[in-house]
Structure 1
Amino acid sequence: MNITRENIDALNAVVTVAIDKTDYQEKVEKVLTDYRKQANIPGFRKGHVPMGMVKKQYGKAVLVDEVNKLLQENLNKFLVEEKIDLLGNPLPKEQDDFNWDAEDFSFEFELGLAPEFDIDLKNKKAITQYNIVADDETINNQIENIRKQYGKISPAEEVTTETEITGVFKSVEKGIENTTTFSLDKIKGKRNSDKFLGAKVGDVLNLKTKNLFNEDHDLMSFLKVSHEDAQGLEIEVSFEITEVNTRELAEMNQEFFDKLFGPNAVSSEEELKDRLKEDAAKQFAQQADQRLLNDVTEYLVENTKFDLPQAFLEKWLRVAGENPLTEEEAKEEYQKAEKGLRYQLIEGKLLKDNDIQVQFEDLKAYAKDMVKAQMAQFGQTNPTDEELNGIVARVLSNQEEVKRLQEQLVSQKLLAFYKENVNLKVKELNYEAFVKEVYS
């Protein structure tokens, strides 16, 4: 057997696998001998069927099977030994004159090669690293919302500036149907709020999404649409009112504190504010980190230039899935996948060049912290090591869960790497200002 590689260009190559009779003959003869021992053919005793008849009936199928096994095994071995960094899988080239009746065979495979490139982490324009602070206004608003949540609800006759409105936003055009609750202070402008004032349960209001809410992110939340769909959304929606309620704020007493955090965990308004600030800081840090990760990813994809074997990848996409694609469908699929593929290559190079690895012990510790946090949410603040280790073992026995945790851990390690190596500027602001700046 002889395997050779011919580079077409920096991103494409052809591998030729030449197989002669001596490579497969012994294996084929062995399989046919075994077939002869087991064959049940009328007129012949088992194990005494003439070999010529066995070869006539099974010879071609066995030959094809054994040659294909030999081909795949040695092609894969060659690719590993030569350390060829592939995109997609090898594609067999069509050979119109191929003849299975020959004794020697030659197979050709097209390869799409991963590009070589450099990554510049010294960006001239600094990327913003947000530091979201829980200021007094944010904490006071949160306390008021919690007091509303735990307060006494009473039905109201009609919508006023003091009531909560529950209803269903609908748009057949955009496939929107979402039940939500909000107060009138969320609505932007007198013209819009006047449509709500005095309305009763069962009324249906026709509203325009443009400038409907004071905050753009409320459009995403109340209509349940993505950030992309919310941008510049100008459609008419209906809103059917299903409830109108007034809500009396819950009293700030020990019973209220206990409902929030358990018996005697918090015993004063000041302690409540300190606890909420602590929780908010953790939540805000996660959101700020995710934004930084997204922004650095966007920067790397936009500023790391390299070519891809597009024609090969489109051809590979046509045959890679369960259902073959047309040329046009493959082009569309490639356009959707290109950005993700570029970042996969960039991320892989960053991990390799900077020796960023996820060891099993890292994964185990990460899973343990995750389980402890989840248990704490349900009041189990002091689980034993035996309990934790048992749950972690079950989590890590699920391959899908392991993959998800690995991806999260890789993101964490990359985030720490970016904070050390990318040109960043820290911007401190409260949560409301963060949402306006990032999502408006």
Structure 2
Amino acid sequence: MNITKEQIDDLNAVVKVAITKEDYQDKVDTILKNYKKQANIPGFRKGQVPMGLIKKQYGKAVLVDEVNKLLQDNLNKYLTEEKLDVLGNPLPKQKDDFDWDQEELDFEFELGLAPDFEVPLKTKKAITHYKIVADKKMISEQVERIQKQYGKLVSKEEVGKNDEVSGKFENEAEGIDNQSLLEMDKLKNKKAIESLVGKKVGDTVTLKTKGLFKEDYFLSSALGIGRDKADNFDTEVSFTITEINERQPAELNQELFDKLFGKDNVKSEKELRERIAEDSEKQFEQQADQKLLNDVTEYFIENTKFELPTGFLTKWIQMTGDKELTPEEASEEYEKSEKGLRYQLIEGKIIKDNNLQVQFDELKEFAKGFIKSQMAQFGQMNPKEEELDAIAVRVLGNQDEVKRLSEQLMSQKLLNLYKEKGNLKTKEVTYENFVKEVYG
């Protein structure tokens, strides 16, 4: 067997493979002999079928199968040994006059080669890395939410502006008949608030649905209708009051602190506010880091210039999908996937140049950290190390989970690399201003 490469240009090449009878004949003969032993052909005893008949019936199929195996194995070996960085897979060049009876079988494969390029981590333009801080207003609002959540309900005779009112929404024509809890501080419509304040159990008021709540999504659950119907829903509904309660805020005392953070971990309102700020900023850091990763990714895609073997990749998409595409369809698919392909190459280059690897031990520790955070959400704050190990082993026994966690860990490694070596400018903002700047 002889394999040679013809370089067309920097991004395209053709590999030629010449196979002679010596490469495959022994294997073909062995398989046909086994066929002869097992063949059941009418008119012949088992094992007594003439070899000529076996070759006539099975010879071509066995030959084609063995040659294809040889091609696959040796082509892959050649690409590895020559360290050819190919995109997609080699595409066989079709020959209409190909003759399987020739003494030497010649094959050609088109290759699309990965471009050679550099990715300077120190970008020319500084990329903003947000540091989101918890301001006094946010902390105070969180304290108020906690006091409200852990407060107690006190029954009232008349509706006040901050009460919780239970009742039934009705509109026969729209099929609305829903028992619901109405929190007065969630209402937006002033007329609705005025019509409810001072009312008693058993009273019925008429409310307009449009603009009723400060947040539109409350309307769906209040009326017991789908979100699609609730969007731009403009009608009148009756609301009959069945219960009125005032939620009195919980005292900021040791009993509440222990309930929130465990015994004696927080001992004063000042420590409570510090803890809220710390916990909030940890959550904000994840959002800021994701924003940084997105921005760095976008920068590299836009500013790392290199050519791709577009013609080859379009043909590869056309021929290797679930169904063969037309040239126009393949070109359209290539345009959709080009940006993703470019970033895969850029990311692979960064990983290779900076020797970023995911080792099993660190993947296991990463999985344990992920498991621990999930358990904390269900109140298991201090799981034993043996328990974490056992769960991690089970998780890492699932290849889909291994892939998902490996990708997350690699993203974390890339993020740490960008923080260490990138050209970043830190911008300190409140969460409210972060949302305005990032999401508009």
Distance 1:315 1:193 in 2: 60
- Report the counterpart of residue 238 of structure 1 in structure 2: 233
- SS of the residue aligned with 1:334? helix
Structure 1 residues 23 and 404: alpha-carbon distance in aligned structure 2, compared to 1, 3 A threshold: same
| Aligned position for 1:83 | 83
Once the 2 structures are TM-superposed, how far is the Cα of residue 239 of structure 1 from its aligned partner?
A: 6.8
Q: Which residue of 1 aligns with 2:227?
A: none
**Corresponding residue of 1:337:** 337
- C-alpha separation in 1, matches of 2:191 and 2:286: 38
**C-alpha contact (below 8 Å) 1:162/1:246 kept by paired residues:** no
Could you say which residue in structure 1 is the equivalent of 2:388? 388
What does the per-residue CA deviation read over 1:74-111, in whole Å, with 9 as the maximum and x for residues that have no partner?
11111111111011111111211112233321111111
SS in 2 for 1:238: coil
Hey, what's the Cα distance between the residues in 2 that align with 1:422 and 1:182?
Answer: 50
Give 2:308's aligned amino acid.
L
Asked if 1:23 corresponds to 2:23, the answer is yes
The match for 1:61 is 61
Deviation string, structure 1 residues 327-351 (Cα, Å, up to 9, x no partner):
3332232222211211111111111
Partner of 1:357 in structure 2? Answer: 357
Correspondences of 1:36-435 after superposition (within 5 Å)? 36-151=36-151, 162=162, 193=189, 205=209, 237-238=232-233, 248-252=247-251, 253=253, 256-262=256-262, 265-435=265-435
Shift of 1:267: 4.9
CA contact (8 A) 1:195 1:205 kept: no
CA shift digits 1:282-307 (9 cap, x unpaired): 11111111111111111111111111
For residues 242 and 5 of structure 1, the distance between their equivalents in structure 2, rounded to whole angstroms, comes to 81
Instruction: Name the counterpart of 1:230.
Output: none
In 2, Cα distance between equivalents of 1:25 and 1:40: 24
Q: Which amino acid aligns with 2:111?
A: L
By how many angstroms is 1:222 displaced? 10
* Displacement after TM superposition at 1:377 (Å): 3.0
Using a 3 Å threshold, how does the CA distance of structure 1 residues 396 and 221 change in structure 2: closer, same or farther? farther
- Secondary structure (helix, strand or coil) at the match of 2:121 reads coil
Counterpart code for 2:351: L
Tell me the distance in 1 between the aligned counterparts of 2:324 and 2:147.
57
Alpha-carbon contact 1:36-1:51 (below 8 Å) kept: yes
Decide whether the 8 Å contact of 1:19 with 1:106 is kept in 2: yes
C-alpha distance in 2 between matches for 1:88 and 1:392: 34
Using the TM superposition, give the Cα deviation of residue 434 of structure 1 relative to its aligned residue in structure 2, in angstroms: 1.1
Residue identity in the other structure for 1:251? A
Q: Distance in 1 between matches of 2:87 and 2:163?
A: 58
Query: Residue 52 of structure 1: CA displacement?
Result: 0.7
- Give the greater-gyration-radius structure (CA): 2
Post-superposition Cα deviations, 1:189-229, rounded to whole Å, max 9, x if no partner, equal xxx8468655999967457xxxx98xxxx899999xxxxxx
Select between 352-361 and 298-307 the one with higher mean Cα deviation. Answer: 352-361
| CA deviations over 1:16-68 (Å, ceiling 9, x no partner) | 11112221111111100000011111222211111011111111111111111
Deviation at 1:151, TM superposition (A): 4.8
In the alignment, the residues of structure 2 paired with residue 299 and residue 59 of structure 1 have an alpha-carbon distance, to the nearest angstrom, of 58
Contact 1:184/1:193 (8 A) holds in 2: no
Counterparts of 1:128 and 1:60, CA distance in 2: 65
Mark the CA change 1:59 to 1:254 in structure 2 (over 3 Å): closer, same or farther. Answer: same
Q: Following TM superposition, by how much is the alpha carbon of 1:353 offset from its aligned partner in structure 2, in angstroms?
A: 1.0
- Indicate the larger mover: 333-342 or 249-258: 249-258
TM-score, normalised to structure 1, is 0.80
Mapped to 1, the partners of 2:259 and 2:7 lie a distance apart of 69
Deviation at 1:265, TM superposition (A): 4.7
Q: Distance in 1 between matches of 2:74 and 2:127?
A: 48
Deviations 1:168-208 (A, max 9, x none): xxxxxxxxxxxxx9989889xxxx8468655999967457x
Hey, what's the Cα distance between the residues in 2 that align with 1:206 and 1:118?
A: 56
| 8 A contact 1:123–1:422 mirrored in 2 | yes
Q: Structure 2 CA distance, aligned partners of 1:59 and 1:155?
A: 92
SS of the counterpart of 1:143? helix
Aligned-partner Cα distance in 2 for 1:242–1:105: 85
* Inter-CA distance 122–272: structure 2 relative to 1 (3 Å threshold): same
Partner of 1:174: none
Aligned 8 A contact 2:165 2:245 in 1: no
Paired amino acid for 2:70: L
Question: Between the two proteins, what is the percent identity of the paired residues?
Answer: 60
- Of the structure 1 ranges 41-50 and 268-277, higher mean CA displacement relative to structure 2 is found in 268-277
Whole-Å separation in 1 of the counterparts to 2:291 and 2:400: 25
Does the aligned pair in 1 maintain the 2:2–2:18 contact within 8 Å? yes
Q: Which runs of 4+ in 1 moved over 6 A?
A: 153-156, 163-166, 181-187, 199-204, 218-223, 239-247
CA contact (8 A) 2:20 2:104 kept: yes
Contact kept, 8 Å, 2:153 with 2:248, in 1: the verdict is no
In 1: Cα distance, 2:95 partner to 2:205 partner: 72
The 3 A distance-change label for structure 1 pair 184 and 289 is: farther
Distance (whole Å) between structure 2 residues aligned to residue 221 and residue 6 of structure 1: 67
